[in-house]
C-alpha cells in the first residue's frame, strides 16, 4: 500500500489572516500615536498612603520575658553539658529561643526571617548572633563549633536587650 505525503507550500496560507494580523497590530499603534500627538494623558493612579504601624504591646513585662528565655537557654546549656543533645541540636534550639525572644519583645516574626532580612532590621547584635549560628545549625557536621561560647552569647543578647 503506497503512502504519499504532500506538504503544503510554505506561503500558501490565507492572505486574509496576514491582513488581519497587520491590522490588529497597527490599530493600537495608530491610536497611541494620535493620543500622544494630541497630548492625551492617562489618569494617574492614586497611591495609598502608608499607615503608621501600630505600636506593639507586650503581654508580659520585659523582666518576665527575659527571665523566661534565660531559663530556656539554661535548659539548653544543661542538656548540652549532659550530652543529651549535640552541637547542631543546641544551635537549632538556641536559634529558635533567640528568634522567639525577639518576636515577643518587638512583635517582629523573626522565626520567618532570613539572615539578610534580620540585618535589614538594624538589630546588629541579633544579626551577628544568628550569623554565628548559621553554619553549625545547618551543617551536617558542626565540628569546630564553639557551642559553649555561643550559648553565653545568646544569654548576653537576651540580658542586654533594651
- pTM score: 0.64
Cβ atoms within 10 Å, residue 38: 7
User: What pLDDT, in 10s, does the model give residues 43-75?
Assistant: 787 777 766 667 888 889 999 999 999 999 999
DSSP secondary structure letter of residue 95: H
Tell me, what's the pLDDT at 146?
Answer: 85
Please give the Cα distance from 127 to 153 (Å, whole number): 12
Q: Would you place residue 26 in the very low, low, confident or very high pLDDT band (cuts 50, 70, 90)?
A: very high
Positive or negative torsion for Cα 72, 77, 82, 86: positive
> Domain residue spans in the chain?
12-42, 62-160
Whole-angstrom distance between the N-terminal and C-terminal Cα of the chain? 91
Tell me, what's the pLDDT at 46?
Answer: 79
DSSP secondary structure letter of residue 45: P
For 27-30, the CB contacts below 8 A with 24+ separation are none
For cell 553565653, the residue is: 152
**How many helices, marked H, and strands, marked E, lie in the chain?**
6, 0
**At residue 112, does pLDDT exceed 90?**
no
Amino acid at each position: 500500500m503506497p503512502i504519499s505525503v504532500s506538504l503544503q507550500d510554505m506561503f500558501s496560507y490565507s492572505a486574509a489572516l496576514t491582513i488581519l494580523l497587520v491590522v490588529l497590530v497597527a490599530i493600537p499603534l495608530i491610536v497611541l500615536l494620535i493620543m500622544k500627538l494630541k497630548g492625551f494623558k492617562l489618569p494617574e493612579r492614586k497611591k495609598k498612603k502608608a499607615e503608621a504601624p501600630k505600636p506593639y504591646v507586650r503581654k508580659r513585662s520585659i523582666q518576665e520575658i527575659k527571665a523566661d528565655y534565660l531559663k530556656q537557654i539554661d535548659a539548653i546549656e544543661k542538656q548540652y553539658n549532659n550530652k543529651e543533645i549535640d552541637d547542631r541540636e543546641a544551635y537549632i534550639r538556641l536559634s529558635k529561643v533567640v528568634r522567639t525572644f525577639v518576636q515577643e519583645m518587638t512583635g517582629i516574626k523573626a522565626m520567618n526571617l532570613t539572615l539578610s532580612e534580620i540585618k535589614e532590621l538594624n538589630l546588629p547584635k541579633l544579626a551577628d548572633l544568628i550569623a554565628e549560628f548559621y553554619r553549625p545549625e545547618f551543617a551536617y557536621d558542626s565540628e569546630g563549633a564553639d557551642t559553649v561560647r555561643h550559648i553565653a552569647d545568646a544569654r548576653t543578647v537576651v540580658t542586654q536587650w533594651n
